[in-house]
A = this chain, B = another copy of it.
Amino acid sequence: MTDYSKVDAYLESNLDQSLDELGRFVAQPSISAQKLGLHEAAAMVADMLRARGFTPTIHQTPGAPIVTAERKGKSDKTILFYNHYDVQPPEPLELWESPPFEPQIRDGKMYGRGISDDKGHLTARLFALDALLAEGDLPCNVKFIVEGEEETASVNMLAFVTGHKDILKSDACVWEFGGVDHTDAPMQYLGLRGIQYVELTVDLLSTDVHSGLGGSIFPNAAWRLIWALNTLKGVDERILIPGFYDNIQPPSARDRELFAALPDVADEYRERYGVPYFIKGLKGGNELKVEEVFSPTCTICGLTSGYQGPGSKTVLPARASAKVDFRLIPDQDPADILRKLRAHLDAHGFTDVKITDLGGDAPARTDPDHPFIKLVVDAAKDIYDKPMSLVPMVGGSGPNHPFVHDLGLPVATAGLGYPDTRAHAPNENIRIDLYLKHARHMARVVREFGK
């Protein structure tokens, strides 16, 4: 392998400047759920790329702008980085130890909303390129696609990617996230489950009514919702929508082998989340790890109806709604699930349950034995104390399907996350040692890929 001592020395000595840049980036609020600061953040991303000799383009979409950029390098091969500049809302504000948009360094960590998810990743990757550029030209062509709606289901990404295959054409892709587990072993996540997020709404009366009046004779939106939801999944956790389990690819022997190499999670979950028991009779071990990601879900994420304050209020609610997400595994398709959900509700007489499509992503995986995955794993070897673990799929979702299936790319993950990074939560933070390691890793990946 190439000698990376100069690259590492550059990164060591310029770390403070990179963290300053990250601090300015984090200080720009860019909350997609609240449509706040998105154009400003997109412009900032374009400026950061331009400063590295990239030629960025800001594409307007029906939602937040998408920034793409390219800089040519020595080899013909092209690596594509997918990142996002939007962040989660910072609330509840009172739980932050320092203001979410005034980044602060304390005890080897840097705090701020979006510093881990995903601004730290983008900045560390640019920092890696700085180290390579300090020695001359880039080793290969490098492209970026940086969106501003990842935290709101990337609703415009599928259309953008499929409509811009030319400018996104590449040979491999590095995904926005990654990190180390609780033993500081870096993780390579090889796929994402898909998702179909819906809101189910029942709206029956023009106003809430005193329950003493309507209880015996008026239809109750909350009851209609309960009965409709109950038809979706049984107490045994089996999802009851006809055809829901069609097209599912079970985990392969190789997948099971990879899971077996990963640490047990049962005790960690019991402790961290107070899980009293696992469903489906699961006890732990490999079975739990496989089921965690290789089974699709129907999760109620929220319920809303009527009176929710303290004590009692005797009201018959006019309206009730539920937020429900379906996590999908290859080869389930979100649009197909949405159609089957509608047909199922109609067949059970729940034509009064309205479905609002809040976004979907198809599931996608990358072959664990793809050469690019091997390259990324190998490039981590002299940086981290432990070898990179291969995780066949994670439970979360993201817009990787068009990258895998429309652009035809292997998608690797690598990042600066760690178990206490608190993405989406108050006091989101990064470990500065992992920020530096990620930059070192990314510099190696780009150079090795260019060979």
State the A residues within 8 Å of B (CB): 33, 152-153, 193, 195, 197, 199, 204-207, 209-220, 222-223, 225-227, 229-230, 233, 235, 269, 273-280, 282, 288, 291-293, 295-297, 299-308, 310-318, 320, 322-323, 325, 327, 349, 358-359, 394-397, 424
Q: Are A305 and B312 in contact (CB under 8 A)?
A: no
Q: Which residue of B lies closest to A33 (CB)?
A: B311
Q: Are A317 and B292 in contact (CB under 8 A)?
A: no
A209 to chain B, nearest CB (A): 5
A31 to chain B, nearest CB (A): 12
Q: Are A306 and B303 in contact (CB under 8 A)?
A: yes
Q: A269: which of B218, B227, B279, B295 is its contact (CB, 8 Å)?
A: B218
Q: Are A212 and B327 in contact (CB under 8 A)?
A: yes
Q: Which residue of B lies closest to A233 (CB)?
A: B223
Q: Which residue of B lies closest to A195 (CB)?
A: B314
- A193 contact set on B, CB distance < 8 A: 212
Q: A312: which of B216, B269, B317, B359 is its contact (CB, 8 Å)?
A: B359
Known: A226-B230, A306-B302. A218 touches B323 (CB 8 A): no
Q: Are B233 and A230 in contact (CB under 8 A)?
A: no
21 sampled A-B residue pairs with Cβ under 8 A? A33-B311, A204-B276, A205-B273, A205-B275, A205-B276, A210-B396, A211-B325, A211-B327, A212-B327, A216-B296, A216-B327, A216-B395, A218-B278, A218-B279, A219-B279, A222-B302, A301-B307, A301-B315, A302-B313, A303-B305, A304-B308
Q: A297: which of B211, B325, B359 is its contact (CB, 8 Å)?
A: B211
A181 to chain B, nearest CB (A): 13
- A327 contact set on B, CB distance < 8 A: 211-212, 215-216
Task: Please give 9 more A-B residue pairs, beta carbons under 8 A apart, in addition to A220-B299, A235-B349.
Answer: A205-B276, A211-B301, A211-B327, A214-B275, A222-B322, A300-B306, A301-B306, A302-B307, A313-B323
- A312 contact set on B, CB distance < 8 A: 152-153, 197, 199, 301, 323, 325, 358-359
Interface centre among A225, A273, A279 (most CB of B within 10 A): A273
- State the CA gap A432–B451 with chains docked (Å): 92
Interface centre among A199, A223, A349 (most CB of B within 10 A): A223
- State the CA gap A153–B312 with chains docked (Å): 8
Q: Are B311 and A273 in contact (CB under 8 A)?
A: no
- State the CA gap A217–B225 with chains docked (Å): 24
Interface centre among A225, A288, A314, A318 (most CB of B within 10 A): A314
- A33 contact set on B, CB distance < 8 A: 310-311
Q: Are A302 and B273 in contact (CB under 8 A)?
A: no
Known: A230-B230, A288-B217. A323 touches B300 (CB 8 A): no
A149 to chain B, nearest CB (A): 11
- State the CA gap A67–B325 with chains docked (Å): 54
Known: A316-B301, A327-B215. A273 touches B207 (CB 8 A): yes
Q: Which residue of B lies closest to A192 (CB)?
A: B212
Q: A304: which of B152, B233, B303, B323 is its contact (CB, 8 Å)?
A: B303
Q: Are B217 and A299 in contact (CB under 8 A)?
A: no
Known: A211-B325, A292-B217. A302 touches B315 (CB 8 A): yes
- State the CA gap A389–B34 with chains docked (Å): 56
A113 to chain B, nearest CB (A): 15
- State the CA gap A302–B320 with chains docked (Å): 9
- State the CA gap A212–B229 with chains docked (Å): 20
- A235 contact set on B, CB distance < 8 A: 227, 349
Q: A396: which of B213, B223, B297 is its contact (CB, 8 Å)?
A: B213
Q: A305: which of B273, B292, B302 is its contact (CB, 8 Å)?
A: B302
- A211 contact set on B, CB distance < 8 A: 297, 299, 301, 325, 327
